[in-house]
Structure 1
Amino acid sequence: MRDRLGAHTGTIMSDIFISYARPNEPLARQAGDALRAMGYDVWRDDELPAHRSYGEVIEERIRTAKAVLVLWSNDAARSQWVRAEADAARELGTLVQVSLDGILPPMPFNQIQCADLMGWRGDTDGAGWQKVVSSIASLAGTATPSLRASRGDIGTSEDVMVCVLPFQNMSGDGEQEYFSDGISEDIIIDLSKVSSLSVVARNTAFALKGKSPDIGHLTRDLGVTHLLEGSVRKAGSRVRITAELLDCASGQQVWAERFDRDLTDIFAIQDEISKAIVSALQLKLLPQEKKAIEHRGTNKPDAYNLYLLARQHWVSGNSGDRRRDELVVRVCQQATTIDPGYAKAWALMALAQSELGRLYGLPEDGKEAAEKALSLDPQVPEARCALARHLVQQGKATEAEDLLRDVLAHHPDSWEANKEMAYLVFREGRVEESVPFFEKAVSLMDTDYHDAGMLMTCYESLGDTANMRRVGQIAFERVERAVAQDPMNGTAMAMGAGALGAMGDEDRAREWISRTLLLDPNNIHARYNLACSLVSLGDNQGAIDLLGPYFDRVELTDWHHTGVDPDMDRIRDDPRFVSMRNEAGKRLGQM
């Protein structure tokens, strides 16, 4: 029996074809009902005619549909039918896709815009569903006047989707890359605050960095209508920013400007760019949206510059790297010295300090910095994540989980909050429940190879080889970029070895293990991940050999992690492993 469901409206040509896996039937029904209520014809296959072949009808319905709505989930990603239907829609330019459980769509669909419906229960007012409606309307047209009313009068008859390409660093100094990246990311964030405008996610946009964009791909697969590109040149106290908005359909320039200003005008430049784009596209900027765009958190350009530097290192993917965390703390301390009221800098400092305390036993736990940040901005997500870590350290995991769920309710696209929730439930032994949060974190940050590595562990534990290999490929691509920037990055190389193993390339995995141990033998977190790889490759004794120095230096949080990590299941009862872990537990006061 096929693993998906559908319905038949009785028309030869339907507006919308819905594709999904059978376990998601209740949500598929709700989606179909909601779209029918708007006046669309919706086709599924629960009333297939008895006299025609299954494949023939499906092919016909996909070919004649104006939009194909694919509901991705863990089950859908494993379904050959859903994949085939999504591929057909992609070729026809009718694909609209959503994620029901936070999973990143499988390749090649992970490069195409995907609405987030994690936790959706049929609510038609939510931002995720409205994004689906907007995409469908652009393909199938507006079904009824009520649809336009539900979306609001946005001042244009067509949906507008902007892709902000990472601005080029023209400073002649690669060390200034963080500044141009930070400007690009802030413009994406600003434009995302405009309700009448859709913006390609940072992760997808930054995947195009340094490449010549394929306009056809962007318009066909992502629904992009306009491209924003530009450059940044920073020299001393001066900055030059050029920006150009292009219409993808005509290739014509819609707007362009060059800003030659003092660095002290950087915030005004960003505001002007965002407002100019809204004006050029003839969209309506609501008062609260204008206020949100103008809110920078600091009016000190030097503090902002330092924050961007710290942020670039924080998102490098090198989770657990002591050098990274110490650098972030130092730079954020300088930023907060310049502007003591800079909540985002205090919050980022709190996260880095909590990492140092958690992994290396240093006295700072980030609590004081987090509380300072929250006194300035009660909703800054990074600070609340740091407090959640503090609660976990105190044995208050339930309170920490409640806090993180509240953070995600307000900031569903927070990379940090999704990471923290993923780790919390993973370390509670709820591996399957952690998957959507790890998937979301991976989808939000194109440098994040560490959470892709955690997903490999999750999927291997769940017996899901297809998804394990999918995220293994994602992890390895990201690791390769990290190692190209820093060939001595043992943390990344260890994750690369695991990714190669997940993809079935055992010989190269072992080569990377040897290389990592040669270049960075004292990196205990790399050692642990290499041991995980060896267990997966069937070399249990080799894994235990690597874990000796790890257990000699492991701190409490990671000691607890070894007790629940599925990667350790095959050696958990080995006398040597038990002895090493017990000795570490005694040192940490746990035995």
Structure 2
Amino acid sequence: MNPHNFFSELKRRNVVRMAGLYLVGALLLVQIAGTLLPMFGAPDWVPRTIVILVALGFFPATIFAWAFELTPSGLKRDEEVKPEESIAPQTGRRMNRLIIAVLVLALAYFCFDKIVLTPRREAALVAATEKSLAARPSAESNAKSIAVLPFVNMSADKEQDYFSDGLSEELLNQLAQIPQLRVIARTSSFSFKGKEVDVSAIAKALNVANVLEGSVRKSANTLRITAQLVRTSDSSHLWSQTYDREMSDVFKVQDEISRDVVAALKVKLLPSQQPTNLQHTSNTEAYEQVLIGKEARKHGGYEAFQRALIAFQRAVDLDPNYANAYAGLAQAQGFAADFSKTPAERAAEIKKAFANADKAIALAPDLATAYWVRGLLRHRLSWDWKGAQADFKQAAALDPNDVETFNYSQALFFSGHQSEAFAMDRKATTLDPLSPEAWNVLGWHHAFAGQYAEAKTALQRALELSPDAPWSAFLLGYVALKEGKPDQAAEYFRRAPGAFSLAGLAMVEYTLGHERESQRALAALKEKYAVGFAYQIAQASAWRGDKDGAFEWFEHAYDQHDAGMYRLRYDPMLESLR
């Protein structure tokens, strides 16, 4: 059969019309499934499955149209229909009308979705984000809620703040082990450090019924710890106690204070629920080095992580069986890898980080932090995402109220489980409502899901809490750029750190038509940050329309095991490559 006759036969048998009808019907079905199914809480895989099934059904439908013809007496094989019995032309005309009708329906539904449903969905999501603030359990209805404020350093040496803060944090961690208590996370509780704030104001900001506060006086080998539990509704003291101890008893006194607080709150515990110290050392000097390392790590940046590395290494040297020290050292080494000057140096840091994380788990299989650190390393550096999810899941099981374990939400989000990720993000903003990082992660996920209104709500909240937060500014730059507001994006990108600022400005200047300025920013990015930030170079290249350059730098990012690669599937800045 020559091509002309074959095409004529396709038209006679209405195969072309069937293909058109199938495609417009599939378009309408996919539109409806994509908008209505999420409203009924359908899992993410359901709309994807419908698309796959519809695609798979196309060829069988056209083959069926070729092989069979609809006649007044029913379906018959085409070769069995005599020419005088065929009603194919009439069927074709009916199919034409049906195609037009379905196209009109698809267009009408598209307009309805954009004009009516989309604004409603966006408004509902914004309301849900705002509601998560207002709908947290009330202090009145949840008397078993508590915030542990940083204990005041009363020592003669004012440099001992790290010790009083560390002791407060350990008490918080111990109380957070108790499932009957809702314990506000460190970032929010410690935001009141050094401020003269009334207990009622703290209660309103954190939505808690109780506050634990106190002071620490450390002199040589002696400790005096004063603690008091305050009910926020009337500022009355439920309990107070002073503990005079030797420094060698610091872990015992932490256990003692935790148990006394639980008793004062009248929380009934099972024998297995007694709060216990998870430091896994008896060496108080090593413990102090871990506190110093944690304090340094909170400041971020290269110098801070170098100080943390030194402190954690000293702790390991003082107590080679100290699991917390190995976990802290592993985390610091993992971040130090980002500042490596060569791929070989980076690989060596990563190898050491994994070895120390494994050591921490081997020494203390019940230490949530150890699993969290190894999960972070697997997620960011080795791309073992299944292994990372397993570690994060174990960390969350061991300490479900530790906000740090909510890095699990990032693993969930970027592996396609967005609903569960958002649920964890909202829990994080409930347990740590004054944490810029918690709101930042929520905003980040909304941005990568294309929910820009919700992203701005969360990210602006993060900036309110920390006006100098560079990551929130950077992500707001992303959102502004995607919304077609390059001038606003430029303001945000200028507040972002190093490589991220240059990548953002390269994209903004290109959008504004300033090719020379864009090229200059990209050249500086390549010169200064070729190792460790290849993903950002690829990202900027993609935005500029340089697909070859983007894929070249993605190859570099792959070779370097760049931490950004796990975002590849959802990055909104890479739409030109999809």
TM bin (shorter chain): 0.5 to 0.7
Q: CA contact under 8 A between 1:544 and 1:576: conserved in structure 2?
A: no
Q: How far apart in 1 are the matches of 2:305 and 2:543?
A: 32
Instruction: Determine if the alignment matches structure 1 residue 405 to structure 2 residue 393.
Output: yes
| CA deviation after TM superposition for structure 1 residue 230, in Å | 1.3
| CA deviation after TM superposition for structure 1 residue 373, in Å | 0.6
Counterpart AA for 1:546 = A
| CA deviation after TM superposition for structure 1 residue 265, in Å | 2.7
User: 1:425-440 residue pairs with structure 2 within 5 A?
Assistant: 425-426=413-414
Instruction: Determine if the alignment matches structure 1 residue 332 to structure 2 residue 312.
Output: yes
Structure with max Cα Rg: 2
| CA deviation after TM superposition for structure 1 residue 369, in Å | 0.6
Q: How far apart in 1 are the matches of 2:435 and 2:202?
A: 23
The alpha-carbon distance between structure 1 residues 501 and 169, as it changes in their structure 2 partners (threshold 3 A), is: farther
Q: How far apart in 1 are the matches of 2:185 and 2:561?
A: 45
The alpha-carbon distance between structure 1 residues 246 and 395, as it changes in their structure 2 partners (threshold 3 A), is: closer
| CA deviation after TM superposition for structure 1 residue 198, in Å | 3.7
Instruction: Determine if the alignment matches structure 1 residue 245 to structure 2 residue 245.
Output: no
| CA deviation after TM superposition for structure 1 residue 346, in Å | 0.4
Deviations for 1:386-429, whole angstroms, at most 9, x for unmatched residues?
Answer: 44455565554334334433443444444444326516853x68
Match in the other structure for 1:347:
327
Counterpart AA for 1:300 = N
| CA deviation after TM superposition for structure 1 residue 334, in Å | 0.6
Instruction: Determine if the alignment matches structure 1 residue 311 to structure 2 residue 291.
Output: no
Instruction: Determine if the alignment matches structure 1 residue 547 to structure 2 residue 547.
Output: no
Match in the other structure for 2:360:
373
| CA deviation after TM superposition for structure 1 residue 342, in Å | 1.3
| CA deviation after TM superposition for structure 1 residue 372, in Å | 1.1
Instruction: Determine if the alignment matches structure 1 residue 468 to structure 2 residue 455.
Output: yes
Residue 349 of structure 2 aligns to a residue whose secondary structure is coil
The alpha-carbon distance between structure 1 residues 225 and 495, as it changes in their structure 2 partners (threshold 3 A), is: closer
From the two aligned structures, give the one with the greater helix fraction.
2
| CA deviation after TM superposition for structure 1 residue 376, in Å | 0.7
User: 1:129-148 residue pairs with structure 2 within 5 A?
Assistant: 139=141
Q: CA contact under 8 A between 2:329 and 2:356: conserved in structure 1?
A: yes
Instruction: Determine if the alignment matches structure 1 residue 284 to structure 2 residue 268.
Output: yes
Question: What is the CA RMSD across the aligned residues, in angstroms?
Answer: 4.6
Q: How far apart in 2 are the matches of 1:470 and 1:209?
A: 26
Question: How many residues are matched?
Answer: 441
Q: How far apart in 2 are the matches of 1:422 and 1:506?
A: 28
The alpha-carbon distance between structure 1 residues 354 and 453, as it changes in their structure 2 partners (threshold 3 A), is: same
| CA deviation after TM superposition for structure 1 residue 181, in Å | 2.3
| CA deviation after TM superposition for structure 1 residue 534, in Å | 6.6
User: 1:90-239 residue pairs with structure 2 within 5 A?
Assistant: 106=129, 110=133, 113=136, 139=141, 159-171=143-155, 175-216=159-200, 224-239=208-223
Deviations for 1:122-177, whole angstroms, at most 9, x for unmatched residues?
Answer: xxxxxxxxxxxxx79x75xxxxxxxxxxxxxxxxxx84333322222334666433
Q: CA contact under 8 A between 1:230 and 1:242: conserved in structure 2?
A: yes
Deviations for 1:196-250, whole angstroms, at most 9, x for unmatched residues?
Answer: 4443343442343344445556667866333221122334444332211223344
Counterpart AA for 1:182 = G
Q: How far apart in 1 are the matches of 2:424 and 2:511?
A: 23
Counterpart AA for 1:193 = Q
Residue 369 of structure 1 aligns to a residue whose secondary structure is helix
In structure 1, the gaps of 5 or more residues are 1-20, 28-74, 84-104, 115-134, 140-157, 484-491
Residue 273 of structure 2 aligns to a residue whose secondary structure is helix
Counterpart AA for 2:258 = S
Q: CA contact under 8 A between 2:503 and 2:536: conserved in structure 1?
A: no
Identity of aligned residues (%): 25
| CA deviation after TM superposition for structure 1 residue 587, in Å | 8.0
Q: CA contact under 8 A between 2:290 and 2:325: conserved in structure 1?
A: yes
In structure 2, the gaps of 5 or more residues are 1-35, 43-118, 563-578
| CA deviation after TM superposition for structure 1 residue 332, in Å | 0.6
Q: CA contact under 8 A between 1:442 and 1:449: conserved in structure 2?
A: no
Q: How far apart in 2 are the matches of 1:529 and 1:442?
A: 27
| CA deviation after TM superposition for structure 1 residue 22, in Å | 10
Counterpart AA for 1:370 = A
Counterpart AA for 1:469 = K
Q: How far apart in 2 are the matches of 1:448 and 1:222?
A: 11
Q: How far apart in 2 are the matches of 1:542 and 1:445?
A: 41
Residue 350 of structure 1 aligns to a residue whose secondary structure is helix
The alpha-carbon distance between structure 1 residues 537 and 336, as it changes in their structure 2 partners (threshold 3 A), is: farther
Residue 299 of structure 1 aligns to a residue whose secondary structure is coil
Q: How far apart in 1 are the matches of 2:269 and 2:208?
A: 20
**Could you tell me the TM-score, scaled by structure 1's length?**
0.60
- Which one of 237, 247, 266 corresponds to residue 250 of structure 2? 266
The alpha-carbon distance between structure 1 residues 224 and 404, as it changes in their structure 2 partners (threshold 3 A), is: closer
Instruction: Determine if the alignment matches structure 1 residue 296 to structure 2 residue 279.
Output: yes
Deviations for 1:249-294, whole angstroms, at most 9, x for unmatched residues?
Answer: 443322222334433232232222222223333443433233x424
Q: How far apart in 2 are the matches of 1:528 and 1:206?
A: 34
Counterpart AA for 2:189 = A
| CA deviation after TM superposition for structure 1 residue 466, in Å | 2.5
The alpha-carbon distance between structure 1 residues 230 and 77, as it changes in their structure 2 partners (threshold 3 A), is: farther
